[in-house]
Structure 1
Amino acid sequence: MRGYLERLLRQRWRVTAVENGRAALEAARRERPDLVVSDVMMPELDGFGLIAALHGDDALHDVPVLLLSARAGEEARIEGLNAGADDYLVKPFSARELLTRIESQLIRYRIRQVERAHAERMAEVFMQAPAAIAILRGTTLVYELVNERYADLIGRRDVQGTPFRQALAEVPDQALFDELEHVLASGEPAVGQARRVWLQRQPGAEPEECFFDYVHQPIRNTAGQVDRVAIVAFDVTALVRARSDAEVANRAKDEFLAMLGHELRNPLSPILVALELMRLKGIGSLDREHAVIERQARHLVRLVDDLLDVARIAQGKFELRRERVELAALVTQAVETVSPLLEERRHRLRLDVPPAGMVVDADAMRFVQVLSNLLTNAAKYTSDGGDIALEARRAGNEAVIRVTDNGIGISREMLPQLFDKFVQERQALDRSRGGLGLGLAIVKSIVMLHGGTVTASSAGAGRGSVFEVRMPLADAVIDLPAPLPVPGMAAIAAPAAEQLAAGRSRIMLVDDNPNVLDGLRAVLELRGHEVYAVSDPATALRLADSLAPDLAILDIGLPGMDGYELAAELRSRPHLRDTRLIALTAYGQQADHRRAVAAGFTAHLAKPVSPRELQALVEQEARVS
């Protein structure tokens, strides 16, 4: 029988024939066969013992075994299959049946090998994937598989076969567990970004804050039912912390700019006040020198204002007070503001703006700032005696404003970043054009807040530039208002005696800066007012009780008790109920103005104070009272 079978099988396959079970096991270990055909009844090691030995060997446990036996019947067949045989053939059998059974087992074995190789490749991909991946099974979300990256994330702890809640007991985010259970129940994936999770990354260590981008993906079985959930996560902790550090640094920078602007305002105030005093006292022999000092001081004021505007924009504190106004009126004010620079550099300015019919809904002061910044920019980068044009036209529902010059132009490399903060076209070493590179950044921010756009173009170096602003037009036409006067420090003639006597007031002035205090007191006294100057809140309260001033000008940044608290104290005293209060501060934001009004001040002045503006306000308050 053995000889017959050997000859039959050798016709189709390579065959190793042995006479007993022990020899069969040794041959199998040596040759790693694709199939073992064994009789049940063999010396030394029967068929059942051979199957057990093969299954106990890691290299041979999946080799299929076909048992041949003379024992017929269902029970014998079941016994053979239960022992681990892949097939059971009862003697006598036909050669055809034997060959068919062997061919079938070989095909199955090859299929299993392909499946095993595919599974091993997938396992390698799973384990080496750059994302952290875990598979949770069943209603209790038991860990079925985790890859290397996931194991690293959870501190290399052994979670296999452990429910998710139990394995990560230190996680306080109950919503995370609920979300996984919802994915399992609903079959809908969940996606999250930069989710904060507290994990114990080292044995015995305290849980640490981690951040993950993740997908919780439901997995369906062959019946279409969701019985698993895959967690795919990316550790973005370093990115989140870097972004947080950058935001902190950015806030610190904005706060520094705001504080820098505040601190720079204080020394500018006494400089401008001293210049005004010189004029009021009739010291005219140094007019040229005074003009130089004033021009440079005003330039510093503009730089400080730019710094403060940038800080407000970055902090989201930039507010607009919009109204309907003719564009021509705004252009007039912008031109008046820039006229000294245009005259100094002998530029020729051409205006082409309709006198009426182009109404915009804008913050007049801020939009004048946009136009004056664009004109100033054109003047700075155009050689003396150059040409500048400002044109405006209607294009559908928009106003299109173009500022054109024949100056140095803009390089192709600079155009994309022209409106960024602190960016300027390259200057010579003397930096004759000056500036901080903030003007155009402020222009863009203000225009965007108005719902408009601003763009720049240039044909290249030495060929001039064009800045175009597009603004929505309002749906109404209004009468053209008279241009508003532009604040300035033009020379003022010494006041006549009859003017000094008019509107004389008793004024209490409180400021801890002695230079500001002495300068403003001198200016107000030259205007004929009775001024009492003190530098601390306690003295101010005692003086107010005995003096009952008509007007109190209070610095907000006072030591010990700030100006708001001092105002509240003054307002609480019945005999000072009619005293009018003016706030004086280096903080000039609209929020500061509203706070001053809420504290009982009737007016608010931002440093550096224009003596003319202060005098006008004092006279106005005197008329009201």
Structure 2
Amino acid sequence: MNGIDSSEGTDRFRMLVEAVQDYAIYMLDTHGIVRSWNSGAQLIKGYQADEVLGKHFGMFFRAEDVAAGLPAKELADALAHGRTEEEGWRVRKDGTTFWANIVVTPIYGPEGDLRGFTKVTRDMTERRRLKELENSWQRMNEFIAMLAHELRNPLAPIRNAVSILQMEPAPSPTLRSCREMIDRQLSHLTRLIDDLLDAGRLTSGKIRIRPQRVSFNAVAAQAAEACRPLMEARLHKFSLELPSEELWVHADATRLAQVIQNLLGNAAKFTPDRGSIALAAWLEGKRLKVEVRDNGEGFEPQAAQRLFELFTQGDGARPIREGGLGIGLSLARSLVEMHGGSMTARSEGVGKGSVFSFELPGADVVQRPAHAPGPALVLVVDDNRDAADSLSELLRLLGYRVSAAYDGETALALAMREPPLAVFLDLNMPGTSGRDVLAALREMPACQAAHVTAVSGYGLEDEKAGRANFSGFDARLQKPVELPALRSVLTSPAFPGQPTAISI
């Protein structure tokens, strides 16, 4: 043996096994009696060698497992298959149980006679606990996703109704106050739902982005408008500082808008009444630079990194006076990093305001695309009458000719009578579903080129999970439909025509 006799090699192997502490390694005779005991076995099971040598290994099983014959079955399986590996509960000296991974291998002599068994046990309690937490978190994510979908259905007509009220030319002061209060609380509720969903997706790595070439100017304006009610409620002075040229960047428009909204929302939360907030963007080479500045509470410089930790609120040094889940900043930075960018925060100290900045690669400047002129007949399809009617009325106020249908069959009949140039289609309808309506429209020669927008309580991550299918649609809107999101669809280059009455 390369200069080492067999007895010396055996001794070295025995010493090696004895030194292993992460695994309990011991030998059994043919009857299951313990004949050796290493230091790992002592650490994991709690017994000294003289407490187990000469005793049956069934002492490590729970009483109910012994009654069920599991020790004998373990040895029998090892004999039948050459080795056996399993996981199960085992008992320590102090009576506590742990989840163990066990490998049992039979030992045969030179003549093929059974000499005993080697048994290797590893404590897997922590891994099992983490697996159970992961499964519980997954079930919770699925529950939250379904709950969010159900909550978005009633929120959709409420959002549309508020948007209609916002377009009233001369509301009374009382109506205006109530309208603005409903709008703020509805926006807050919608953000909470979205934050809960994204927290689960973030921790499980299920957030996906779909980058394409998008106008940063349009995305920034949409995000700023979504946050405007919150800033106006606190009388903030807001400025949007963009270059006169159109900035374009390779990004997921929805997620980029979410990043900006989260930063503006954070600024509004920690800036006192009548404070100032600014959103600025510019180009440096091929990188887009974005800053959100405020003259609010600020934070201690050493707390800059902690602000981006999940479920962290404020800098940890002062009591929290504002609501929220502590998700927005962590999610914003993660989304920016998924785009290949980076995000930082800085402040000169408490009471001296803050600056949150990020940059993205793949940016440039081009001229704004021109929209094709002309009116568009729009067909709204939703089995929820309130949702269909409120969205239809909103589109009419924006200047479109609109037809509404409350089921798939009626929608197809209306489309055959007068082919629409655009369709807003609910996915989840009884009978003829939204997918069925889309397929039928694409088979009609006059409707093949119609711009069809999916309207659903499901989002992008639900599509990834197989709960929704948005393939074949030209755009998508998530319930409750926000006015800025609707405007983004209506003003996109792909949308056919412009409204006939009210300019947007």
Q: Tell me if both proteins adopt one fold, taking TM over 0.5 as the criterion.
A: yes
Preserved contact between residue 77 and residue 83 of structure 2 (Cα < 8 Å): no
Q: 1:348 to 1:482 in 2, by over 3 A?
A: farther
Q: 1:268 is aligned with what amino acid?
A: L
Distance 1:409 1:316 in 2: 31
Q: Deviations over 1:508-539 (max 9, x none)?
A: 6331x3322343354567767463533xx5xx
Q: 1:128 to 1:319 in 2, by over 3 A?
A: closer
Match of 1:133 in 2: 25
Q: 1:239 is aligned with what amino acid?
A: E
Preserved contact between residue 455 and residue 476 of structure 2 (Cα < 8 Å): yes
Q: 1:436 to 1:578 in 2, by over 3 A?
A: same
Match of 1:376 in 2: 265
> Which of structures 1 and 2 has the bigger CA Rg?
1
Q: Deviations over 1:158-217 (max 9, x none)?
A: xxxxxxx9973325996967xxxxxxxxxxxxxxxxxx6257979xxxxx9964399x9x
Aligned-residue CA RMSD in angstroms? Answer: 5.7
1:155 correspondence with 2:23: no
1:234 correspondence with 2:125: no
Match of 1:248 in 2: 135
Preserved contact between residue 87 and residue 101 of structure 2 (Cα < 8 Å): no
Deviation at 1:438, TM superposition (A): 1.9
1:424 correspondence with 2:313: yes
Distance 1:209 1:438 in 2: 35
* Paired residue secondary structure (2:182): helix
Deviation at 1:244, TM superposition (A): 1.7
- The count of corresponding residues between Structure 1 and Structure 2 is 433
Preserved contact between residue 326 and residue 359 of structure 1 (Cα < 8 Å): yes
Match of 2:387 in 1: 516
Distance 1:173 1:417 in 2: 56
1:307 correspondence with 2:196: yes
Preserved contact between residue 271 and residue 297 of structure 2 (Cα < 8 Å): yes
Mapping for residues 304-453 of structure 1, pairs under 5 Å: 304-323=193-212, 338=227, 341-342=230-231, 345-347=234-236, 361-386=250-275, 403-410=292-299, 417-425=306-314, 433-453=322-342
* Paired residue secondary structure (1:451): coil
1:583 correspondence with 2:471: no
Q: Deviations over 1:434-479 (max 9, x none)?
A: 333221121121122123343445555444444454x4644xx732
* Paired residue secondary structure (1:604): strand
* Paired residue secondary structure (1:244): helix
Q: 1:134 is aligned with what amino acid?
A: Y
Match of 1:260 in 2: 147
- TM-score under structure 1 length normalisation: 0.52
Which of 53, 57, 77 matches 1:170? Answer: 77
Mapping for residues 609-624 of structure 1, pairs under 5 Å: 609-610=481-482, 613=486, 616=490
Preserved contact between residue 296 and residue 351 of structure 2 (Cα < 8 Å): yes
Distance 1:602 1:284 in 2: 36
- TM-score under structure 2 length normalisation: 0.63
Structure 1 vs Structure 2: percent identity of aligned residues? 31
Task: Mark the runs of 5 or more structure 2 residues left unpaired by the alignment.
Answer: 1-10, 46-51, 61-71, 92-96, 106-116, 499-504
Preserved contact between residue 362 and residue 450 of structure 1 (Cα < 8 Å): yes
Preserved contact between residue 272 and residue 610 of structure 1 (Cα < 8 Å): yes
Q: 2:416 is aligned with what amino acid?
A: A
Which of 269, 284, 292 matches 2:171? Answer: 284
Q: 1:145 is aligned with what amino acid?
A: S
Deviation at 1:484, TM superposition (A): 12
Structure with bigger RCO (C-alpha 8 Å, 6+ apart): 2
Deviation at 1:271, TM superposition (A): 1.4
Q: 1:406 to 1:365 in 2, by over 3 A?
A: same
Preserved contact between residue 212 and residue 251 of structure 2 (Cα < 8 Å): yes
Match of 1:541 in 2: 409
Which of 450, 462, 478 matches 2:364? Answer: 478
Task: Mark the runs of 5 or more structure 1 residues left unpaired by the alignment.
Answer: 1-118, 158-164, 178-195, 203-207, 217-228, 486-498
Distance 2:491 2:247 in 1: 33
Deviation at 1:268, TM superposition (A): 1.9
Q: 1:438 is aligned with what amino acid?
A: I
